Chain A
Amino acid sequence: MSTSPPSLDKAPEPGEPPVVLERPALTHGSLPRRAAPLALLLWTALGLALYLGADLNPVVAGLIAAVGYTVVICGWSRSVEGPRKAHDRLVTAIVTGAFLVALLPLVSVLGAVLSRGLERFDADFFNNSMRGVVGEGGGAHHALMGTLIVTGLAALISVPIGLLTAIYLVEYGRGALARYITFFVDVMTGIPSIVAGLFAYALFELFFGAGVRMGIMGSVALSVLMIPVVVRSTEEMLKLVPNELREASMALAVPKWRTVLKVVLPTALAGIATGVTLAIARVIGETAPLLVTVGITSSDNFNPFDDRMATLSVFSYNQYATPGIPPEPFLDRAWAAAFTLILVVMALNLLARLISRLFAPKTRA
C-alpha cells in the first residue's frame, strides 16, 4: 500500500494528519561555479561604462550596477537553485554592499590624505617649526612633539584613574556607589569633546585667571574624554577573567588584593593594554578641546606647564583656516600634518596588536 501525500484540493478527511510540512528535495541544481563573480564583473563593467561613456553620476552608476547584479543573481539562483539559495545570495549581496559602502569613506579619506599629504611629507617638515615662516617651508616638529607630550600626559592621568576605577567596579564595587559610578562613566562617554575642553579651561581659569593656555590643560581635557573609554574597556576585560582563577588564587590563601594584582590583572593584561592604546588613539586627533585649552604657537614649546603649545590637529586646522598668500604651502602643511596624525594613530594600533600578542595568556604547550 502506497502512502501518497494528501492533495490540497480535497479537504483532509478525519483521522488523516491535517497538515503535511513541505520537505525540500535533498538535491537541487546549482549555478556554474564562476556565476557570481562573472555576473558581478559584467555589472561592474556596465556601471563603469555608464559612468565613463554615458557621463552618468558615479553614485547612480554604482547603484545601477549593484541593484542589477543583485536582481540578476537572485533571479537566476531562484530558478536554478531554489528559494533558499536565492535568499542566501540576496543577503550576501546586501551584506557585502553594506560593507563596501562603509569602506568607501575610509578609503576615500585615506586616499585624499595620502595624495595631498605627501606633498610636504619630507625631512624639512619634521625638523622645522613654524617660527618666522610666513610662506613656503616650515614644518610641524613643534606640533608633533606637542601632540606626543599632551597625549602622553593625558594617558598618564587617565590610565591609573581608569584602571583603578575598573578594578573597583569589577572586583570590589557592590551596591549604590558602584551603580552611580557606572552611570556617570556612561554619561562621561557621551560628553562632547568641546565641553571637555571648556571644562578644563574653566578649571584652570579658577587658578590662573582668564586667558590661560597650557599644555597640561589639554591633557586634562583629553583625560575627561579618555577615562570613560579606559574604564569601559578595562571593565570588559576584567569581566572576561574566569571567576575560577580568582577562586583558585583565594583557595591558595592569597589575599584578595594580591589576587587582583597578580592573577586577574596579568590574565587580562593583553586586553587592557589594547584598550588603553585604542583610547589614546581615540583622543590623539581631538581638535576642539585643544583649541580652547592649549591654543597654537608657531615655535617650539615643550613645557606643558607654560603657555601655548602646538599640536598636530590644531596645527592642521590652523594652517587650513588661516592660510596666507599664496595659500598652497599652508594647505600642503595642513594635509601633511593630517597624514602624520594618521600615521601616529596607525602606529598606535599596530602597537596595540603587538602588545596583545606579547601579553596574551599562552595556551600551547
Chain B
Amino acid sequence: MAKRIEVKDLDIYYDKFLAVQGVSMTIEPRSVTALIGPSGCGKSTFLRTLNRMHELVPKARVEGKVLMDGNDLYGAQVDPVAVRRHIGMVFQRPNPFPTMSIYDNVVAGVRLNNKRMKRAEMDALVERSLRSANLWDEVKDRLKRPGSGLSGGQQQRLCIARAVAVQPDVLLMDEPCSALDPISTQAIEDLMLELKEEYTIVIVTHNMQQAARVSDVTGFFNLKSIGEPGGLVEMDETTRIFSTPSNKATEDYVSGRFG
C-alpha cells in the first residue's frame, strides 16, 4: 500500500515563471511528512506536483523527477489520471459534491469511474471509509442526506473518507485544517496518526504546532528573497527541525522570529 516518493531536482513553472526551484526530498512510507513555510513559498504548488494536479493550471509544467517506488510519475508513458489513482488529495476547503448524498460522496471515486460493484461491497466500502475518517458514528443514520449539509469539520472528514475510499497509496493534504475549529482539527489530526499506519501522508500546514504534533519528518520551504523562486531549505526529523535546525532561516521561522 504505502509507497516511498523520491523527488529529484524538481523545478516547477507556471508558464515562464519559475515558482519552485531545485527540490529534492525523500518521503518515507507509513509516515507523516509536514511541509511548512511562509505563504507563497511554493509548498502547495509542490504538493500538487506530486499527483500531477499542478498541470491542470494552463501552461503549468515541471522539470525534474518524481519517483514513486522507482517509477517516474512524469515519464512519457505515464497517464496523469492513473497517478491520481495512486495518490489521493484532500484540499484546503472541504469540497463535497453538492449534488450527491453522503453515501454517494464516499463512493464518488468508484462511481464516477464507472466501476461496477455489488451493493453489499459498496455498503461495506462506505462504512470502512467513513470509519477510517472517524465520521461513521455521526452520519450512519443519514447517509442519504446531502453531504453539503454537514458541518465544516464533518465535510472535511467526508472528503478524507472520499479520498481513502479509492484506496490510494499516498494521501496529500493541503492545509486540511485551516478552515476548521480546534475540535475538528483535533479529530483530523488523530485521524492522520491512524491513517499513517496504512498510507504515506504529506501535509502542508501553516500551523507549526500541528506539524510538530502529527509529523515524523518536516520540510521547511522558503523564498530565497522577494522575486526569487521558492525552494526546500531544510528537511529533517520533526523533533530536530523544531529544536536544533541546522539552518538559520528555519530556526527563525519555527521560533517565530521570521520577517
A interface residues with partner B (beta carbon < 8 Å): 174, 242, 244-245, 247-255, 258-259, 262-263, 266-267, 269, 361-365
Given contacts A361-B99, A363-B146, contact A254 B93 (CB under 8 A): no
Chain A residues with CB below 8 A from B85, complex form: 253
Kindly list the 9 A-B residue pairs having the minimum CB-CB distance in the complex, ordered from nearest: A365-B149, A361-B98, A253-B85, A252-B109, A251-B89, A244-B95, A253-B84, A362-B146, A254-B112
Chain B residues with CB below 8 A from A250, complex form: 53, 56, 84
Query: Among B53, B108, B113, B145, which residue has its beta carbon within 8 angstroms of that of A247?
Result: B53
Query: Among A244, A253, A263, A365, which residue has its beta carbon within 8 angstroms of that of B91?
Result: A244
Name the distance in Å between B59's Cβ and chain A's nearest Cβ. 9
B101 and chain A: residue at smallest CB distance: A362
A-B contacts, 22 of them at CB < 8 A, read A244-B93, A245-B95, A248-B97, A248-B162, A250-B56, A251-B84, A251-B89, A251-B163, A252-B88, A252-B162, A253-B81, A253-B84, A254-B81, A258-B114, A263-B97, A263-B99, A267-B99, A362-B146, A364-B146, A365-B142, A365-B146, A365-B150
B interface residues with partner A (beta carbon < 8 Å): 51, 53, 56, 58, 81-85, 88-89, 91, 93, 95-99, 108-109, 111-114, 142, 145-146, 148-150, 159, 162-163, 166
Q: How far is the CA of A362 from the CA of B159 in the complex (A)?
A: 17
Q: Which of A254, A258, A361 has the largest count of B CB atoms less than 10 A from its CB?
A: A254
Chain A residues with CB below 8 A from B91, complex form: 244, 247-248, 251
Q: How far is the CA of A363 from the CA of B159 in the complex (A)?
A: 16
Name the distance in Å between B137's Cβ and chain A's nearest Cβ. 16
Name the distance in Å between A185's Cβ and chain B's nearest Cβ. 21
Q: How far is the CA of A348 from the CA of B104 in the complex (A)?
A: 32
Q: How far is the CA of A173 from the CA of B163 in the complex (A)?
A: 29
Q: How far is the CA of A56 from the CA of B88 in the complex (A)?
A: 77
Q: Are A254 and B145 in contact (CB under 8 A)?
A: no
Q: Are A361 and B112 in contact (CB under 8 A)?
A: no
Task: Name the prevailing secondary structure of the A interface residues.
Answer: helix
Q: How far is the CA of A244 from the CA of B174 in the complex (A)?
A: 13
Chain A residues with CB below 8 A from B146, complex form: 361-365
Name the distance in Å between A242's Cβ and chain B's nearest Cβ. 7
Q: Are B97 and A267 in contact (CB under 8 A)?
A: yes
Q: Are B98 and A254 in contact (CB under 8 A)?
A: no
Chain B residues with CB below 8 A from A255, complex form: 81
Name the distance in Å between A245's Cβ and chain B's nearest Cβ. 6
Chain A residues with CB below 8 A from B109, complex form: 252-254
Q: Are B112 and A263 in contact (CB under 8 A)?
A: yes
Q: How far is the CA of A76 from the CA of B113 in the complex (A)?
A: 69
Chain A residues with CB below 8 A from B150, complex form: 365
Given contacts A248-B97, A259-B112, A262-B112, contact A253 B82 (CB under 8 A): yes
Q: Are B108 and A252 in contact (CB under 8 A)?
A: yes
In the complex, besides A262-B112, A263-B112, A363-B98, 16 extra interface pairs with C-beta distance below 8 angstroms are: A242-B95, A244-B91, A247-B91, A248-B96, A248-B162, A249-B108, A251-B89, A252-B84, A252-B88, A252-B109, A252-B112, A253-B109, A258-B112, A263-B99, A267-B99, A363-B148
Chain A residues with CB below 8 A from B53, complex form: 247, 250-251
Q: How far is the CA of A338 from the CA of B113 in the complex (A)?
A: 50
Given contacts A250-B56, A253-B166, contact A266 B99 (CB under 8 A): yes
Given contacts A263-B97, A266-B99, A267-B98, contact A251 B149 (CB under 8 A): no
Name the distance in Å between A360's Cβ and chain B's nearest Cβ. 9
Chain B residues with CB below 8 A from A253, complex form: 81-85, 109, 113, 166
Chain A residues with CB below 8 A from B148, complex form: 361-363
Q: Are A247 and B95 in contact (CB under 8 A)?
A: yes
